[in-house]
Chains A and B, each alone.
Chain A
Amino acid sequence: MLRFVFKRTLDAILTAFLVFSFVFFAMRLLPGDPVIAMLGDRASAETIANVRTSLGLDKPILIQYAEFLWGLVNFDLGQSLINRASVTETMMRNLPYTIALTIASTIVGVVIGVPMGVLSAMRAGKVTDHVTRMGSLVGSALPDFYLGVLVLMLFGLTLRWFPLLGGGDTAFDLRYLVMPAMTLGLLKGFGMIRLTRTAVLDVAGRDYVRTAEALGMSRQNVIWRHIFRNALIPVTTHLSLSIIATLGGTIAIELVFNRPGVGQLLVGAVTSRDYTLIQGGIVILSVLVVTINFLTDLLYAVIDPRVRAA
């Protein structure tokens, strides 16, 4: 197990390093100039040149890369090129909002998706199954921003249950969290239903389940001890992938509900070519993603000891 953990840790560090090196160079290949984006179209060429020098953007790209890596080693992600705020502080202020949304929507997704999926599988071929499958299929085809606007119109504008826009006093302020979490959670739930159903059916058809049933084990016992536990593996994989996707994919939801968060932050940073904020943002996100992947791998290893040997 120790060797497994060590190997996975090395993999994780290498992956993260490759990701942010890629982002560093890719950003600089983009057309557009952060200084012009920052100063607007009214600045004189002189001012533009002065500001470029003061931000160190006139240095050769490899020097800039070396400085970036040196900063990383010192846990210093630099300052935003646009408003000079500390990148770490800005990210740390926005990250909780995205994490809160990720956690809340995952809970909504699991609460809807897993029981409905199990139910659908248990009633395979019957009306409940058909309705659930069709519903989840149509649901997953809905674009996120569209579902977001529907939720906003219904619960915010018509019923007035929740404030329409913003993030609230803290990241976990429920009044502001419910509508975006419901939107994302529903979308996750739709996917989870189909996945759980397939996983349960797949396991239910295995020999050991039939054997257990033939041995006269109670139906409930078979479902919970044999089917459900084994069906958890693909569901867990999906869950971790879905958490990762949510971390980077909250953009539309954050925009619709005007919720602060990493998605909005990065969209703004790309539009204004705020190199340092994008780099810093990606560094923090990739560290998070790599960590989640790492933890998922460990979790597999616990659930299914065969993984350790692989």
Chain B
Amino acid sequence: MKHFGKRLIVAALAVVALSGTALAQEIMNIRLGARDIGSIDPALTKTGDDETVVLQVFNSLVAPPRGTLDMDIGDLQPQLAESWEISDDNKVWTFKLRPGVKWQKGYGEVSAEDVKFSYERQMDPALGGVHGASFKDIESIEVVDPLTVRFTLKDANAFFHASALTPGFGRFIVPQKAVEELGEQFGFAPVGSGPFEFAEYRPQDRVILKANEDYFLGRPPMDELHLRYIPDNNAATIAFIAGELDSSGGERTPEWVAQIEQQAPDAQIITMLPGSLQFLHFNMKVPPLDDVKVRQAIAYAVDRNVWEGAFGILHGDLTAIVPESFYGALQTADIPEELRYDYNPERAKELLAEAGMPDGFAIDAIISERDDYLTNMLMVQDMLRQVGIEVNLEVQDHASYHANIREDKGTIVELSTAIAPTAPAVINEFLSEAAAVGKPSALRNFSHYGELGGSVDDLVAQAVAEPDAAKQMELLTEAQLQILRDVPVLPLQTAPLLSVLQGNIDLGYEPVSGFGQHEFATARRVTE
């Protein structure tokens, strides 16, 4: 009996030890700054945090090289599509899908029908998604055979891959059968083809994803991802320092960076450009902003070198409206000196005098209370005061501010926002006539450029349709120079997206540029 007891104990210990090994799951804890899910149906995402989840579960047709936003057509990488053909006039894009890619949870194989369904679904205005505008130039989508799909565009578009096919902004392929079967539930428990599959959602707490054993690019090293909703920055920082989180988005302040460097010295601090583009939009309906000399005066009066000193590694230069790293951007070196608007308060005063306001003027402006908005605006306010322009600020909560600027109540409007990395995308979204606030097709043209004066719509349209890359660049350069002459907006800076990873996490690639989301398909824990 004694022996039996001993054996029982040994056996029990062995079982515990074995089960301990079997249960040693590699779990990665990732912080999301939102309070909860909006929707993790790729067609209905509205926030970067929702996109982070989607990026782990779904695939696009093609992608830029990992960790970059390199949209050069020659560098495109296959994802669900293994090869593609583009007609000489850039109007017909044909994709051949990888055979045998499986949908998760037994929903069959990824087919051309699914691709057609995914895009047509987003183009339906009744769906309530916000990504539909990216797909407006699609005339038709045709299933050539079960693994071949063909997009025919209304007009030639050399940028179609960048605006509609690469990951982010809803451009993911979803399984038709699962979407139809699951209905609204698809937004909380999606089914994709990506490296991780949905396992559990705990409201306001976390989304749990588990490794997709059948992933066509190989099973990810991590067994589970716990994407945790932690809105409070302090709480997230403490948890990161304590090691309870492996990855977290950071507070975009130099103080926060210093705190992490000091208290978690092993952590990897990652900045990704372009991050948020920060502009001042001048509402050209509001005098005296309707006068180009006044807008130029403001451009000269704002010392844009200050931002680098104030934000350190959280700053990126923005001389023209399109960041230099974007496809089709005007390079700073190519901007003539008189259009660079280097800080010159004397020139600002001269221009104000020429505009008939030698003593300056006062103007009311609204601004969001959010840090990245308010800090910039207070700096601008102070600099403008030096040349006699008094900006009377009314600070509003973020939701009210956005509602008000959409109703055209802004004068000098500030925006801090991420956008698809091509010159036409930026220009069309902020400066095309159709995007002017107040129009049914309004996007974010708060200056009414193109509607009230100046327009680069034709130049951009020609560039997008132009098959010859050199001519395309010429047209885009001319458009960007014209914008610099008219100053409907004043670019301030880009604020890179910031994230931290524990020192023992290796993502498997180097994130250089992007919209702030990391892919965790190859992330692994490095043993120390």
* Interfacial residues, chain A to chain B (CB-CB below 8 A): 30-33, 36-51, 54, 82-85, 90, 93-94, 149, 152-153, 156-157, 160, 163-167, 255-258, 260-261, 264-265, 267-268, 271-273
Instruction: Tell me the nearest residue of chain B to A257, going by C-beta.
Output: B235
- Report if B36 contacts A (CB, 8 A): yes
Main secondary structure of the interface of A (DSSP, over half): helix
Q: Mark B133-157, 1 if CB is under 8 A from A, else 0.
A: 1000000000000000000000000
> Contacts A40-B46, A165-B235, A255-B235: A47 and B399 contacting too (C-beta < 8 A)?
no
Interface residues on B, range: 35 or more
Q: Is the CB of B402 within 8 A of A36?
A: yes
Distance A291 CA – B338 CA, assembled complex (angstroms): 72
Bound Cα distance from A258 to B443, whole angstroms: 35
Contacts of A30 in B (CB 8 A): 400
- Flag if B128 contacts A260 (CB, 8 Å): no
Inter-subunit contact A157/B417 (CB<8 Å): no
CB pair B204 A43 closer than 8 Å: no
Q: Name the distance in Å between A97's Cβ and chain B's nearest Cβ.
A: 9
A264 to B36, alpha carbons, bound, how many Å?
Answer: 10
- Of B241, B402, B417, which is in contact with the most chain A CB atoms at under 10 Å from its CB? B402
**Cβ–Cβ < 8 Å partners of B437 in chain A:** 45
B396 touches A31 (CB 8 A): yes
Expressed in whole angstroms, the Cα–Cα distance for A156 and B415 within the complex equals 39
A221 to chain B, nearest CB (A): 51
State whether the Cβ of B26 lies closer than 8 Å to any Cβ in chain A. Answer: no
Given known A36-B406, A47-B125, A255-B232, contact A153–B238 (CB-CB < 8 A):
yes
Whether A44 lies near B443 (C-beta < 8 A) is yes
A82 to B47, CA, bound (A): 12
Check A32–B400 contact: CB distance below 8 A. yes
Please give, as numbers and ranges, the residues of chain A lying within 8 Å of B239 by CB-CB distance. 164-165, 258
Take A167-B205, A264-B204 as given contacts and tell me if A157 and B187 are in contact as well, using a CB distance cutoff of 8 Å.
no
| Choice from A41, A45, A84, A93 contacting B417 with Cβ under 8 Å | A41
Q: Are A47 and B238 in contact (CB under 8 A)?
A: no
Question: Is residue B230 contacting chain A, with contact meaning CB distance below 8 A?
Answer: yes
Q: Choose among B36, B130, B133 the residue that contacts A83 (Cβ–Cβ < 8 A).
A: B36
Report the separation of the CA atoms of residues A90 and B417 in the bound assembly, to the nearest whole angstrom.
30
In the bound complex, do residue A258 and residue B130 qualify as a contact, i.e. CB atoms below 8 Å apart? no
| B205 with A166: CB separation less than 8 A | yes
B39:A83 contact, CB within 8 angstroms: yes
Closest-CB distance, B303 to chain A (whole angstroms): 27
Chain B contacts for A33, CB-based, 8 A: 399, 402-403, 406
User: B187 touching A83 by the CB < 8 A rule?
Assistant: yes
B526 CB-CB contact with A under 8 Å = no
When A and B form their complex, what is the total count of cross-chain residue pairs whose Cβ atoms lie within 8 Å?
149
Given known A39-B130, A153-B238, contact A46–B399 (CB-CB < 8 A): no
Known: A45-B441, A90-B203. A39 touches B46 (CB 8 A): yes
Q: Contact at A47–B203, with CB atoms within 8 Å?
A: no
Complex Cα–Cα for A273 and B232 (A): 19
Q: Which residues of B pack against A, CB within 8 Å?
A: 35-39, 46-47, 125-126, 128-130, 132-133, 184, 187-188, 202-206, 228-232, 234-236, 238-239, 241-242, 244, 396-400, 402-404, 406, 415, 417, 429, 437-444
With A46-B441, A54-B128 as given contacts, are A260 and B203 in contact (CB-CB < 8 Å)? yes
Contact B204 A265 (CB under 8 A): yes
Measured in the bound complex, the distance between the Cα atoms of B225 and A247 in whole Å is 33
Contacts A47-B133, A83-B39 aside, 6 further interface pairs with beta carbons under 8 A come to A31-B396, A32-B399, A32-B400, A46-B440, A165-B235, A260-B202
* Chain B contacts for A85, CB-based, 8 A: 188, 203
Contact residues in B for A164 (Cβ distance below 8 Å): 235, 238-239, 242, 244
Residue of A nearest to B439 (CB): A45
Whether the Cβ atoms of B238 and A152 lie closer than 8 Å is yes
Taking a contact as CB atoms under 8 Å apart, the answer to whether B244 and A32 are in contact is no
- Min distance, Cβ A276 to any Cβ of chain B, angstroms: 15
Please judge, given known A-B contacts A152-B238, A164-B244, whether A41 and B444 are in contact too, CB under 8 Å: yes
Looking at the assembled complex, report how far the CB atom of B443 sits from the nearest CB atom of chain A, in whole angstroms.
6
Q: Is A268 a contact partner of B128 (Cβ separation < 8 A)?
A: no
Which of B36, B236, B402 meets A41, CB within 8 Å?
B402
Bound-state Cα–Cα, A90 to B204, Å = 10
User: In this complex, what residue of B is CB-closest to A148?
Assistant: B235
Are A44 and B442 also in contact (CB < 8 A) when A38-B46, A164-B239 are?
Answer: yes
In contact, B204 and A260 (Cβ under 8 angstroms):
yes
**What residues on A are CB-neighbors of B132 within 8 Å?**
44, 47
Query: Cα distance A49–B132 when bound, in Å?
Result: 14
B46 partner residues in chain A, CB cutoff 8 A: 38-40
Q: How far is the CA of A82 from the CA of B415 in the complex (A)?
A: 22
How far apart are A3's CB and chain B's nearest CB, in angstroms? 44
| B231 CB, min distance to chain A CBs, angstroms | 7
Taking CB atoms, residues of chain A closer than 8 Å to B415 are: 41
Partner of B440, one of A36, A49, A167: A49
